[in-house]
């Protein structure tokens, strides 16, 4: 599957032809069955009628019916084969997207909302599927019919065929003009719709806020005008479409009129037989169909191309993690060293978080990071895990740089507990086990006990098998926190990062969690990021960050007495 080289949906489909070859061949055969049909009509009239040959008429009818049946059989087989092939391609495409998501740089994830990524995965792939099927299963056969019938008609009578060929461009230009109008109106409807969905979505998710502030009328008012716009643009669309529908009908009849009239004159002048004229009348709708379809198809294709582009943008993104190293220390200790690190978030290249940061966290040491919000504490955690790349200096783990190190393996030796913890839908057991899939039930339970979570879990109606998430039990912030600590414990990491792991909690659950964390911290490299100074009193070393550098460091008592930034903070706290 190569999206890099194939910049359009069409090229992509061609490059995947090995899945589709059989179906496409049959789809073409299918149209060849149709090609002689109008000509057979002409034969019936010109040959069998004057000779009063009923038997001949029946034989021709049999041939006609047999061709139709054959066409049907081919059509069904082709649809099935093409459908199967395209599904196969789209399945691969989805796996490819998901695989890319796993390797994407966090800088890319920062720029894209999860909704946007989800829609690439779910909707854009579906669109690509639909358009590809439309292209191969409808547009291609219809075009083949059209051209093969046209070819036969050229052989039957080139002059009348020429008349047909001359009116087609006129028809097509008029249609394109109409389609443009329709498209513009469609776009307006879509924009209005998107706006309405957006504001409705916002209002619905902010329902609690709106209600608790008593601002219902304001919210209703905002929705009302968007709602009105949608209705307005829809009416416009209905008007244009109905005119368009009438236009198409009249237009088709008009084309028939021109052909019949020109043909009839030729018959009167003795230049053409009635049967030939008859076959032209039968052929006309088949010849016109691709012309009718092309305008619609172009529009559909443009949407498919847009979806393809959006998928390609993700799949061919340069924002993939650059870690290619495959070394790993024989005995992993968890010694972390920042040397002159320069770092800026990809979205803010010009305002680096750190210009030149030096920091050494020894194996087994417990370090606390404090500092005002925005001083770069979480950034240090992100950098240790290699979630972003640095633009200067080195980060070394046990003496190896991140370039040399197998970063995925390194991350499996780490655990991070955040303030906002992410639980997956599923049972409690599965959630804890996510950190170590081979853990036994007993190990999971032990981890929960160490995290002070076992008691509340056992009190749930279904204990460890209770389902959490939208339709399951809801947990308090402290409970969720203890589950994620259990996860970290189960993992038994060498490096543990706690990023404001307790700041959202009340005092009681904080005490429970604090105990759990202290148990968890023993014998590991621990980096604690905290607001509350009570949490970090026991750290071996406290590092005070500010202005992109280390302002002060030392143990709790030393810093308190030093009259620096820390004593100001602790004086307040
Ligand atoms: N994903 C991000 N993209 C861009 N800028 C970010 C991102 N995360 C944090 N920042 C910016 O980087 C700086 C440091 O942030 P952070 O490390 O989160 O601070 P802290 O954890 O100390 O509050 C802040 O100025 C913040 O606005
Ligand atoms: Mg932070």
Report the predicted TM-score, pTM, of the whole model to 2 decimal places.
0.71
Share of the chain above pLDDT 90, in %: 46
- Residue 440 CB-density burial (10 A; 0-12 exposed, 13-18 middle, 19+ buried): exposed
pLDDT in the model for residue 279: 93
Expressed in angstroms and rounded, the spacing between residue 387 Cα and the centre of ligand 2 is: 15
From 368, 379, 387, 501, the mutation candidate for ligand 1 (largest count of ligand atoms within 8 A of CB) is 379
- Which residue's alpha carbon is nearest to atom 27 within ligand 1? 374
From 105, 114, 374, the mutation candidate for ligand 1 (largest count of ligand atoms within 8 A of CB) is 374
Closest CA to 345 of 317, 303, 369, 378: 378
Residue range 1-156+295-320, CATH number: 1.20.1560.10
The number of beta carbons lying within 10 Å of the beta carbon of residue 450 is: 19
Angstrom distance (rounded) from CA 138 to CA 79: 9
- In b/e form, how buried is each residue of 484-503, taking b as 16+ CB within 10 angstroms? bbbbbbbbbbbbbbbbbbbe
Taking CA atoms, 131 is separated from 93, 123, 289, in Å, by 15, 12, 18
**pLDDT tens digits for range 72-108:** 999 999 999 999 999 999 999 999 999 888 888 788 8
Residues 6+ apart with CB under 8 A from 533: 370, 556, 569, 570, 573
Instruction: Using the atom order of ligand 1, give the atom closest to the CA of residue 373.
Output: 23
Q: How far is CA 226 from the centre of its chain?
A: 27
pLDDT in the model for residue 208: 81
Closest CA to 479 of 503, 505, 498: 505
Q: How far is CA 332 from the centre of its chain?
A: 38
DSSP state for residue 436 in the 8-state scheme: -
DSSP state for residue 153 in the 8-state scheme: H
**Topology (CATH) of 336-572:** Rossmann fold (3.40.50)
- Residue pair 393/355 in contact by the 8 Å Cβ criterion: no
Tens-digit pLDDT string for the chain (573 aa): 888 899 999 999 999 999 999 999 999 898 889 889 999 999 999 999 999 999 999 999 999 999 999 999 999 999 999 999 999 999 999 999 998 888 887 888 887 777 778 888 888 999 999 999 999 998 999 999 888 999 999 998 999 998 888 887 777 787 778 878 888 888 888 888 888 888 888 888 788 888 888 888 888 888 888 899 989 999 998 998 888 888 888 888 888 899 999 999 999 999 999 999 999 999 998 888 888 788 778 888 988 998 999 899 888 887 777 788 889 999 999 999 999 999 999 888 899 999 999 999 999 999 999 998 899 999 999 999 999 989 999 999 999 999 999 998 999 899 998 887 778 888 999 999 998 999 999 999 999 998 889 999 999 989 999 998 766 778 888 888 888 889 988 988 999 999 988 776 677 677 777 777 887 788 899 999 987 777 788 889 999 998 889 999 998 888 888 877 787 776 654
- Residue pair 263/144 in contact by the 8 Å Cβ criterion: no
Do strands 495-499 and 414-417 pair parallel, antiparallel, or not at all (unpaired)?
Answer: parallel
Helices and strands in the chain, H and E counts:
22, 12
Angstrom distance (rounded) from CA 493 to CA 488: 7
pLDDT in the model for residue 316: 87
Closest CA to 415 of 496, 479, 331, 338: 496
Phi, psi of 327 (to 5 degrees): -90, 160
Expressed in angstroms and rounded, the spacing between residue 377 Cα and the centre of ligand 2 is: 6
Structure tokens at 329: 């220390």
- Which residue's alpha carbon is nearest to atom 3 within ligand 1? 345
Expressed in angstroms and rounded, the spacing between residue 374 Cα and the centre of ligand 1 is: 5
From 109, 113, 319, 345, the mutation candidate for ligand 1 (largest count of ligand atoms within 8 A of CB) is 345
- Which residue's alpha carbon is nearest to atom 20 within ligand 1? 374
What's the first-to-final CA gap in the chain, in angstroms? 58
- Which residue's alpha carbon is nearest to atom 25 within ligand 1? 374
Closest CA to 341 of 382, 309, 282, 370: 382
Closest CA to 197 of 234, 232, 226: 226
pLDDT in the model for residue 174: 77
Expressed in angstroms and rounded, the spacing between residue 499 Cα and the centre of ligand 2 is: 7
Phi, psi of 318 (to 5 degrees): -80, -10
pLDDT in the model for residue 573: 44
Domain ranges of the chain: 1-156+295-320, 158-271, 336-572
Closest CA to 277 of 107, 38, 12: 38
What is the CB < 6 Å shell around ligand 1? 110, 345, 347-348, 353, 371, 373-379
Residues 6+ apart with CB under 8 A from 261: none
């Amino acid at each position: 599957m190569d999206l890099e080289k194939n910049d359009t949906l069409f090229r992509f489909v061609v490059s995947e032809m090995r899945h589709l070859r059989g179906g496409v061949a049959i789809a073409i055969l299918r149209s060849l069955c149709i090609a002689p049909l109008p000509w057979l009509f002409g034969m019936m009239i010109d040959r069998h009628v004057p000779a009063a040959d009923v038997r001949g008429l029946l034989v021709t009818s049999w041939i006609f019916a047999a061709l139709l049946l054959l066409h049907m059989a081919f059509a069904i087989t082709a649809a099935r084969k093409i459908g199967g092939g395209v599904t196969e391609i789209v399945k691969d495409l989805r796996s490819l997207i998901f695989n890319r998501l796993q390797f994407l740089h966090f800088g890319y994830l920062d720029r894209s909302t999860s909704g946007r990524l989800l829609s690439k995965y779910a909707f854009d792939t579906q669109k690509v599927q639909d358009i590809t099927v439309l292209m191969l299963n409808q547009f291609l056969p219809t075009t083949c019919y059209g051209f093969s019938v046209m070819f036969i008609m050229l052989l039957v009578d080139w002059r009348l065929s020429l008349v047909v060929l001359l009116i087609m461009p006129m028809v097509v230009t008029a249609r394109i003009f109409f389609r443009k109008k329709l498209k513009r109106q469609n776009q307006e409807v879509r924009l209005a719709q998107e706006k309405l969905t957006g504001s409705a979505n916002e209002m619905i998710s902010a329902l609690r806020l709106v209600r608790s502030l008593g601002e219902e009328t304001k919210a209703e008012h905002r929705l009302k005008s968007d709602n009105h716009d949608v209705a307005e643009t829809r009416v416009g669309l209905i008007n244009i479409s109905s005119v368009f529908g009438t236009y198409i009908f009249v237009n088709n009849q008009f084309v028939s009129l021109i052909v019949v009239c020109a043909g009839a004159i030729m018959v009167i002048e003795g230049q053409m037989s009635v049967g030939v004229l008859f076959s032209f009348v039968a052929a006309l709708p088949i010849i016109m169909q691709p012309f009718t379809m092309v305008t619609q198809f172009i529009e559909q294709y443009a949407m498919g191309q847009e979806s393809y582009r959006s998928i390609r943008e993700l799949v061919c993104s340069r924002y993939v993690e650059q870690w290619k190293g495959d070394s790993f220390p024989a005995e992993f200790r968890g010694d972390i060293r920042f040397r002159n690190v320069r770092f800026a978030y990809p979205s803010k290249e010009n305002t680096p978080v750190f210009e030149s940061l030096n920091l050494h966290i020894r194996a087994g040491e417990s370090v606390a990071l404090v500092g005002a919000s925005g001083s770069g504490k979480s950034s240090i955690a992100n950098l240790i895990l290699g979630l972003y790349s640095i633009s200067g200096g080195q980060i070394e783990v046990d003496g190896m740089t991140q370039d040399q190190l197998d970063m995925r393996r390194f991350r499996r030796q780490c655990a991070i507990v955040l303030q906002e913890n992410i639980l997956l839908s599923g049972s409690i057991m599965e959630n804890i086990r996510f950190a170590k899939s081979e853990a036994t039930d007993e190990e999971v339970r032990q981890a929960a006990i160490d995290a002070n979570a076992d008691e509340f879990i056992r009190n749930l109606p279904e204990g460890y098998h209770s389902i959490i998430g939208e339709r399951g039990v809801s947990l308090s912030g402290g409970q969720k926190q203890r589950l994620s600590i259990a996860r970290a414990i189960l993992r038994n990491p060498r490096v543990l990062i706690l990023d404001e792991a307790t700041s959202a909690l009340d005092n009681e659950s904080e005490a429970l969690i604090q105990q759990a964390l202290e148990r968890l911290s023993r014998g590991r490299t621990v980096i604690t990021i905290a607001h509350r100074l009570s949490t970090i009193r026991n750290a071996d070393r406290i590092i005070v960050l500010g202005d992109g550098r280390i302002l002060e460091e030392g143990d709790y008592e030393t810093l308190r007495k030093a009259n620096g930034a820390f004593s100001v903070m602790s004086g307040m706290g």
